[in-house]
Structure formats: C-alpha cells, structure tokens
Amino acid sequence: MDWLLPLPKPGETPARALTIAGSDSGGGAGIQADMRTMALCGVHGCVAVTAVTVQNSVGVQGVHEIPPGIVAAQIRSVASDIGVQAAKTGMLSSAPIIEAVVSACEELGIGHGQSVPLVVDPVAASMHGDPLLRSDALDALRTRLIPQATIVTPNLDEVRLLTGVEVTGEVSQRDAAEKLLEMGAEWALIKGGHLRSSPESRDLLMSDAERHELTSYRVRTGHDHGGGDTLAASIASALAHGHSVPAAVTFGKRWVTKCLESAYPLGSGHGPVSPLWRLDPKDD
Ligand code: PXL
C-alpha cells in the first residue's frame, strides 16, 4: 500500500512527535493508543503524561492528576533534547494543566503559526461518559488551548460543549468549524455525525482560507475505544513526517478507518480500535 507513512531504516533516527495526554490502564486509548499509532506510522513517540486513569473496558474508576509543573517539565525536557516535529494533546484534566501545557508550548514554538504543529484533541469524557476534564476547565480549553491549535479535532459531543452547536447537517457542521476558527484554531476538523444512517462518514476540514470535505466508508463496530486518539495521533504523525494539514487529515481518516476495521473485543465492555494490521507484511 503506497499511502502508508514510511518506517525508519534500522539505526536511523525517525521523525519525532510528542503526545501530551493521559494514561489508560486498559491500554485502548490515551498515551497507549498514541504511542502504538506513532510507532506504526514510523514516528518515535515521546510522552508528557497529564493524568493516570484507573480504567478497564467498562469504564473509568479513578483519575490521578500529574502536577502541572511536572507536565510542563516533561514537554521542555523532550523538546529541548530530542526535538519534535509535531505534538498532540489529549486528556488534560484541569485548567492548571492546560495553562502549563500552553505556556510550555508557546515558549518552545509549538502550535498555531509556529514551527512545530500542534493537534488538539479536546478530550472531555470517555466513551462511557466518565469525565476526563473538570467542568471548570472548559473555559481554559476555549480561551487558552484552542487558540494554540494548528488543528482541533473534536467529536460531536466536544463540539457541543465548546461551541454550543449541535451538528445535525452540513450547515451546522460549517457553523461549528467557524466558531472554532473564531476561537483561534488554525484548522478545525468536524466529523459528520449527522449521517449515521448513511454508509459514508463526511467530515469537514476548514481554515480561514480553505474548505475540504473528506468522505470515508463508515465502519460499524461496537469496539471503537481510542478512535479519536488514534485519528489525532495519526494526523500528528503525518505532520511530523512533513505533510500539510489537509494531507495529514486525509491520511488520518484512512488510517483510523483501517483501525476501526481491525477493532477487537476486550473484557466485558468496549474493545479498542487497533493499528496492528500495519504489521502484516502483505501491507508493505
Ligand atoms: O478516548 C479519549 C481518551 C483519552 N485519554 C484517555 C482516555 C480516553 C478515553 O477513555 O481514557 C486517558
């Protein structure tokens, strides 16, 4: 398959990307999904852990936040020595952690209009509805993190929380994208959840100057834990390889569609999307 991102040759330093996100003890989402995705997209993944979740296939039983200063120190340590060509945020949990992440990113040239692109996946809740962001942190997400985003990739619940727009069709999809651009994001990707009965999923990618519609085949599976993380991490991986935002999103959509097709059951609840199909030699 010629659309895959190249894996590094043995001994060669790969492109690097940083995930700033929470740990999922069940291994399906969060930094675990990000690291799997990055590795299989030929990228060395670095990590700034924001929170440790106690989690399995049926839900989140606990959250332990990492002190904001330690989150920022992880970002500074990695960026100043290893260097990254892209970064991504996932679960940030609290306003002080958001503040610390934004300050470190500003200082290191990561984000909107800077040399290192930042993918913001504005994680608010798990698929079971367990909160992964404190309700008093929404404002910090809107006013501090979204303006720092090269691209923001909310799901439809997060779109509603951030913009108040209920996406039901093409007009509201564009309305939501415009609101996120007004908040200061460089690009907004809005998923086409209104067409749930259709065999296709139509997403809208928009900046102030460009508009792209991305259509992909809709995979029906009960096991889609980590799907949003996997999409954002694959976009960050393509950006780390030097691709443009529209090319990276086109890649990410194909990647996550393949991962949804390979999702597997786990425990007694929801299983994760899986990138392990990439290990099949037939796909080289
Ligand atoms: O899929 C969003 C997400 C992100 N980060 C962590 C999570 C989840 C969902 O459960 O647990 C740590």
In this structure, what CATH number is given to the domain that contains residue 195?
3.40.1190.20
Provide the pLDDT for residue 185: 98
What pairs with residue 21 in β-bridges?
A: 49
Residue 284 lies in a domain: no
Provide the pLDDT for residue 195: 55
Provide the pLDDT for residue 127: 86
Provide the pLDDT for residue 262: 96
Residue 200 lies in a domain: yes
Q: Could you count the other beta carbons within 10 Å of the beta carbon of residue 211? A: 11
**Ligand 1 binding site (Cβ under 6 Å of any ligand atom):** 21-24, 29-30, 53, 55, 90-91, 123, 126, 132, 226, 228-229
Instruction: Give helix 245-261 / helix 227-240 axis angle, nearest 10°.
Output: 140
Q: Which atom of ligand 1 is nearest to the CA of 22?
A: 12
Interatomic CA distance for residues 261 and 256, integer angstroms: 9
Query: For 2-61, how does the pLDDT look when each residue is reduced to its tens digit (9 = 90+)?
Result: 799 999 999 999 999 999 999 999 999 999 999 999 999 999 999 999 999 999 999 999
Residue 125 lies in a domain: yes
Domain count, the chain: 1
Residue 102 lies in a domain: yes
Provide the pLDDT for residue 34: 98
Identify the segments of the chain with pLDDT beneath 50. Answer: 194
Exposure string of 155-170, with b = 16+ CB inside 10 Å and e = fewer, is: bbebbebbbebebeee
Residue 2 lies in a domain: no
- Which residues form the domain of 154? 15-265
Q: pTM of the entire structure?
A: 0.97
For the chain, the average pLDDT equals: 95
Provide the pLDDT for residue 88: 98
Residue 111 lies in a domain: yes
Residue 65 lies in a domain: yes
Provide the pLDDT for residue 75: 98
> Which of 23, 229, 270, 273 has most ligand 1 atoms within 8 Å of CB, for mutation?
229
Phi first, then psi, for residue 27 (nearest 5°) are 80, 5
> Which of 54, 123, 128 has most ligand 1 atoms within 8 Å of CB, for mutation?
123
Residue 233 lies in a domain: yes
Provide the pLDDT for residue 284: 54
Instruction: Give helix 30-40 / helix 227-240 axis angle, nearest 10°.
Output: 40
Provide the pLDDT for residue 125: 93
